[in-house]
Amino acid sequence: MGNKGRGLSRREWMRRSGGAALASLAAARRSAAAGRSRRAAPVDGADRSWDSIVVGAGVFGAWTAWHLRKAGQRVLLLDASGPANARASSGGESRMTRTIYGADDVYTRMAWDSLEDWRWLSSRAGLPVLQPIGVLMFFGKREPFAVQSLEAHRRLGLALEELDRAELQRRWPQVSWDGVVLGLYEPALGALMARRAVQTLVQEYVAAGGEYRLAAVPPPAEGATLDGVRTTAGETLRAERYVFACGPWLPKMFPSLLGRRIFPTRQEVFFLAPDAGDERFLPEHLPGWADFNDGDIYYGFPDLESRGFKIAHDAHGPAFDPDTGDRRPTAAAIADARAYLARRFPALASRPLVESRVCQYENSSNGDFLIDRHPRWPNVVLVGGGSGHGFKHGPAVGRYAALLLADRLERPEPRFSLATKGEVQHREVH
């Protein structure tokens, strides 16, 4: 990986972090001391050690911190439990990267624009972050979503293969294609290894001179201004500007502002073991997949890195608290997954469950992201509302948020504004 001269070696990083945090307390103290030695002169009597503080080291916060640091800012990145920790929406194994979004050019462009950053990050990791195994979305009829996706890709000059049922059967005979009319295939896209991606990115950010600390930040006090964040350890940290990218904790951080505009929901993911010696469900023989299923999407991955075949139902689950919610899988969700497998992947329907995970989406009212300034604090940017499809867009979201924070964003996207976030869920983005 070429760690010479970059601080902690990857082996030392893994030893100290256990694969879940970036640095030991000693490394954090060294970084903090270096930050204190580089303090800027106070502008208004307040001691500001950093240009920007980013609260939340998930995929949105980490990429925002990275882009701010690349722009030459002194940046402090904070997280209460570590980058991509087990309760974070950016934790876990795999996320799909795709540009199939119907007529929605905004997210098609963002996913494509993020791809080169993911390739770069994958080149920096000891194991791949991006696995270009291909992505296949298939449909039971010639849905407007499919037709609009093809039109959007032609309009934007992006490749997208249209496959009929006969071709689907020829390429992937291990799938039951009953009732399927067409598939849309993106061979250059695939899976992002989520936890590995975020932890690698934070490691790169620190190597580039950024500072990271494990620190919990309670909700900021209501007031006319925000001139610092206070940690639960009693320390007050100050900067010129602040980003809050707290995922499912955003409604708790800003209850009066976002408590009724961001909706965390409980989502269950399952991994099943293919039959011993069965190669049909390895990534060499099956891409990442999503069954549009009349808008009630199921999706998953082949057996990546021997973790098992992944399946998840994209329907929003019940409301969920990321701190206190029960993370044990339910019998109903397992039965639902097996019923779907019996219809589409019959060889896996009765295979052993080898792993499960309960995570959460943090949904906006319609699925659009929130990337906007706080309505009362112009030096604060709020980033969230990943809505179950945000991970793949992390690099583009971070770039947008960093430009917005620095007053360098030429054309704000109206759909990302706080003003467009309603209090009633009506999902429009898939």
Residue-level pLDDT at 224: 87
Q: Under DSSP, is residue 211 helix (H, G, I), strand (E, B) or coil?
A: strand
> Quick one: CA dihedral 393, 398, 400, 401, positive or negative?
positive
Please state the φ and ψ torsions of residue 173, each to the nearest 5 degrees: -70, -15
Among 129, 252, 143, 273, which residue's Cα sits nearest to residue 202? Answer: 129
The two three-digit tokens of residue 51, written as one number:
């240009």
User: How wide is the angle at C-alpha 178 spanned by C-alphas 172 and 179, nearest 5°?
Assistant: 120
Query: For 57-107, how does the pLDDT look when each residue is reduced to its tens digit (9 = 90+)?
Result: 999 999 999 999 999 999 999 999 999 999 999 999 999 999 999 999 999
Predicted pLDDT at 49: 87
- pLDDT at position 292 is 98
Instruction: Tell me which residues of the chain have a pLDDT lower than 50.
Output: 1-46
**pLDDT confidence of residue 47:** 53
Phi, psi of 342 (to 5 degrees): -60, -30
pLDDT on residue 11: 37
